[in-house]
Each structure stands twice: as structure tokens, then as C-alpha cells.
Amino acid sequence: MAQSKWIKGDVVSGAVLAALGAYIVSEAWRWDYSTAEGPGPGFFPTWYGIAMLVLALVLMLRTAFSAAEQDGKTTDWVGIGRALTVWAAFTLCIVLMKFLGFLTALALLTLFIVAVMYGRPLKVALAAAVGNAAGFYLVFGLALQLSLPAGPLGF
């Protein structure tokens, strides 16, 4: 039995994201868009919601009206598993950030992604992890003087 073009995964997820984008815009309109000092608290959420809404609609319409059929194509479970693994690693990074600090958690996340997900040698992964953490510290900690969440080691 042929599946309706409106019941494809991209159309359904696009509809959910479009609804979320519309909700964000409707809530952001309650806040000040601009103030005397510049952009107000509603500026970024308004444009973020508009972008989400437009891109979700493009996804839905492109999928629904695409000429290419999906018949005979199978689901890439390996790719889905890799994507979910990275999502779990990001989630774990957020949890570890409270205990280890931002820079250490970011370095561990980078190490995992480069070594495990991309399969690069450990030396390359360590260099990427240290370089990424150092870059964030230089830009945000020193140049912008923002306080990043620190762990028990002070960074």
C-alpha cells in the first residue's frame, strides 16, 4: 500500500517544528522587540521563531511535492544510531558540565566525537579536544571576559 505523501516523516516533523516556531513567535511578540539601548528580549526569539517556521514549511513542502519517490529505499539504521549517539553525548556533556566545568566537558565531548564518531587516532582527537577547549577559553574567557562554568579544577 502506498503511503500518503503527507504522512512522510519529514512532513510530520516539519509540521511539529512549524507549530513550535509559530508558538515561539507568538510568545516573543509579548516581549519588547527593541528598547532604548538596542534589541530587546523579544528580538532574538522573534527572528529565531520566524526562521524555524519558514525552514519547517520549506521542509514540509519540498518533501510533500518532491518528484523523487522513496519507494524501495530502506531506513539507514546505522546513520540513525550514530545521530542518536551524538545526541546522547551532547546530553551527557551538559550533565557533566555542572561537575567538571564547561571546558573539561567540552574537551571530553570533542574527544569522543573525533575519536569514536570520526574514528581518528587518539593523538589527533586529543589535539582537537585541547585546541577546542583552549579556543573557547581564549575567545569567551579572555577576549569577551565571560565566566564559563568552572569545575573542581577551576576550569
**Domain encompassing residue 45:** 5-64
> Is residue 131 domain-resident?
yes
In a domain, 53, yes or no: yes
pLDDT at 39: 83
* H or E element at residue 125: helix 122-136
The three-point CA angle 7-11-16 to 5° equals: 110
Q: What's the total number of domains in the chain?
A: 2
93 and 120 part of one domain: yes
Report yes or no: 127 and 110 within 8 Å, Cβ to Cβ: no
Measured distance CA(110)–CA(120) in Å, rounded: 12
Q: Mean pLDDT over residues 112-118, rounded?
A: 94
- pLDDT of 139 higher than 80: yes
Whether residues 81 and 138 share a domain: the answer is yes
The SS3 call for residue 86 is: helix
Listed range (85-94, 119-128, 133-142, 145-154) with the worst mean pLDDT: 145-154
Examine residue 155 and state whether it is found in any structural domain, yes or no.
Answer: no
Grid coordinates representing 68 are 523523487
Q: Are residues 59 and 82 in the same domain?
A: no
For residue 144, what pLDDT band results from cuts at 50, 70 and 90?
A: confident
Q: Judge whether 72 lies within some domain.
A: no
pLDDT tens digits along 17-64: 999 999 999 998 898 888 888 888 888 999 999 999 999 999 888 887
pLDDT band of 118, cuts 50, 70, 90: very high
Say yes or no: 22 and 45 in one domain. Answer: yes
